[in-house]
Amino acid sequence: MKTSIHGLHKVFESRIRLGIMSALMVNQKLDFNEFKHLLELTDGNLASHLTALEKHRFIQVKKQFVGKKPNTSYSATDLGRQKFTQHLNTLEALIKKVSQK
């Protein structure tokens, strides 16, 4: 039984990045506070993982004013959606193999 882990993407290994990408797969865009609430995370933790995902162009950042207040929102890029879907499919295959025993 060959266990293929090579479809898993290193950048998505962290639980927090799994959470961020999962949330962005079912939400068009989210801002920082929405992420913090959804994933129950601290500022520092969340910020560093958002930066890493942006560096890989898996998410994109949009800065705008909402009324007089600055607002930063994040959305998944097509590349991010495609790579994360592949990651999830590989995880799903791994889980199926394990639960077949």
Q: Does 57 participate in binding its own copies (rule CB under 8 A)?
A: no
> Among 14-22, 50-58, 63-71, which window interacts with its own copies (CB under 8 A)?
14-22
Q: Does 100 participate in binding its own copies (rule CB under 8 A)?
A: yes
Q: Name the residue type at position 10.
A: K
Q: Phi/psi of residue 57, each to 5°?
A: 60, 35
SS3 content of the chain, % helix, strand, coil (to 5): 55, 20, 25
Encoded one letter per residue, x for contact with its own copies by CB under 8 A and - for no contact, window 16-45 reads: x-xx--xx-xxx----------xxx-----
Classify the phi-psi angles of 40: left when phi > 0, otherwise alpha if psi is within -120 to 50, otherwise beta.
left
Positions in the binding site for its own copies (CB under 8 A): 1-3, 5-6, 8, 10, 13-16, 18-19, 22-23, 25-27, 38-40, 88, 91-92, 94-95, 97-101
